[in-house]
Amino acid sequence: MKKLIVILFCWPMCLATFAQPRTELSLQQKTWLTHAERHEKAGWIYLHIEGSPRERGFQYGYELAAEISEGIVTTSVNWEHLSARDWEWLVDIVNTMFSGKIDSENLTEMEGIIEGMRAAGKVFSLGDLITYNAWFELSSYWWPQELKKMQMEKVPPARESCSAFIATGSITSGGRIVMGHNSMSNYQEALPNVVIDIVPAKGHRILMQTWPGWIHSGTDFFVTDAGLMGCETTIGGFEGFDPEGIPEFSRMRRSTQDAGTIEEWCTIMQQGNNGGYANAWLLGDTRTGEIARLELGLKNTSLEKTLDGYYIGSNIAENLQILRFETTTDESDIRDMKIARRVRWKQLMLENKGIIDVELAKTFEADHFDTYMLQERLGGRGLCCHAELEHEPCGWPSSPYYPAGTMDGKVMDSEMAKNMSFSARWGSACGLAFDAKKFLKEHPQFDWMKGILKDRPSQPWVVFKAGEQ
């Protein structure tokens, strides 16, 4: 895989370097592809796949070959800049570290993705795809621990991203479960986003947001035909990783496909926990109206459930054991964006008690009120984050004007979930556009992002539904 080393310094040629002629499809492969559906809508790619792990993996890899290829190469560029190590070095470590720890169904689906990509003329290894799927837990959890072992003073903090809530009972309109979530990311990582509809031969149907080529969600917004709906926010200031554990991406997919209840979902998610991508998971059961919050650290976990109330996520641990023993967060410093957002969530829940619905959820996810500055303000502290406009760092990210923040918005209530559907907005929850060329001209300190930092034009809210054509 020396080829990736060349790509790191020659982005415009990368896709051509990996391209090969499309292969002649077998009758079996042609049959598999008749069950797939791909179309684009308002900045999103919708993909339907179904069947056995190999079948649906082949459909996935073939239909999104170009996007997955770009995703792997973009991630390799980010890794090189973060670590000063080449991609091949990381893949070799991942192949050893995760050997025997990914279940056979997930592994077979990923092998199918690689097979489908090759048939479409994009050649990568299974190790490339596994490393790409594990990007969050590797870059923000495993790598900082490795730097500490090397006694490095400069250790990147774990990522802090997403603003989310889930509410039920007297908090919402009609007592329905209402859930909202927006993903926050470094913009150079924000790849073409995918809404994937997976109908496995065994297990539950899943409709979820994901990155192209990921078998889990990563951005973590999903609904299943078991009546479960869920999302998450990362636990900020988190430290810890167990290389002997099961990768987070593998556990998330298994819990979402296999679980029929909130309890089952949490049990599967905790088995073999490696501490990677430590999250507060917000879950709902449409059959009972119950909601839950699972905070999953490495050494400590917390599960809360209620039929009448709400849970919020703003990248701060609510459980005191996780907060005190596994994070470095000062929960009273409202200058910190995650604390400011936590305060704002509580304000919105109180002010709108009894009337919260999906339309209000959209306005929450696009909210710009800064509870430290006590004003409406485009910047890093709003629930809808625009760190690229922030001249004074307020936690994550740690550099002024760093191109990062909210990259989408999603909302769903229990009635939508019963119909396997949700509303989503690509690009920014508030609709603010991002012009990459203009940004790089104004902020040349980020010129290493040329070729991977993309425009994000304003897009409308749209509805996605499982099985749509």
- All domains of the chain, ordered by start, with CATH? 3-19+52-149 (no CATH), 163-465 (3.60.60.20)
Q: What's the rounded Cα separation, in Å, for the pair 174 and 387?
A: 36
What tens digit of pLDDT does each residue of 138-162 get?
999 999 999 999 988 778 777 788 9
Residue 374 has pLDDT above 50, yes or no: yes
Residue pair 166/231 in contact (Cβ under 8 Å)? The answer is yes
Q: What letter would DSSP give residue 408?
A: E
Q: What's the rounded Cα separation, in Å, for the pair 70 and 452?
A: 9
- Packed helices 87-97 and 65-83: angle between N→C axes, nearest 10 degrees: 100
Which of 52, 57, 68, 208 minimizes the C-alpha distance to 131?
68
Residue pair 19/167 in contact (Cβ under 8 Å)? The answer is no
* Average pLDDT value over all residues in the chain: 94
Q: Is 90 exposed, middle or buried (0-12, 13-18, 19+ CB in 10 A)?
A: buried
Helices (H) and strands (E) in the chain, counts: 17, 19
pLDDT at 10: 36
Q: Where does the pLDDT of residue 46 fall: very low under 50, low under 70, confident under 90, or very high at 90 and above?
A: very high
What tens digit of pLDDT does each residue of 399-453 get?
999 999 999 999 999 999 999 999 999 999 999 999 999 999 999 999 999 999 9
What tens digit of pLDDT does each residue of 408-418 get?
999 999 999 99
This prediction has a pTM of 0.95
pLDDT at 18: 53
- For residues 105-133, one letter each, b for 16 or more C-beta atoms within 10 angstroms of the residue's C-beta and e for the rest, the string is bbbbbbbbbbbbbbbbbbbbebbbbbbbb
Which of 182, 70, 100 minimizes the C-alpha distance to 453?
70
Sheet containing 178-182: order of strands? 309-313, 163-168, 178-182, 408-413, 421-426, 462-465
pLDDT at 156: 74
Average pLDDT for residues 55-67, to the nearest whole number? 98
pLDDT at 159: 75
Looking from the CA of 76 toward its CB, the CA atoms found within 13 Å total: 29
What tens digit of pLDDT does each residue of 301-316 get?
999 999 999 999 999 9
Residue 206, SS3 per DSSP: strand
Percent of the chain clearing pLDDT 90 (strictly above): 91
pLDDT at 313: 97
Which of 37, 54, 33 minimizes the C-alpha distance to 467?
37
Distances (CA, A) of 94 to 99, 134, 277: 8, 9, 16
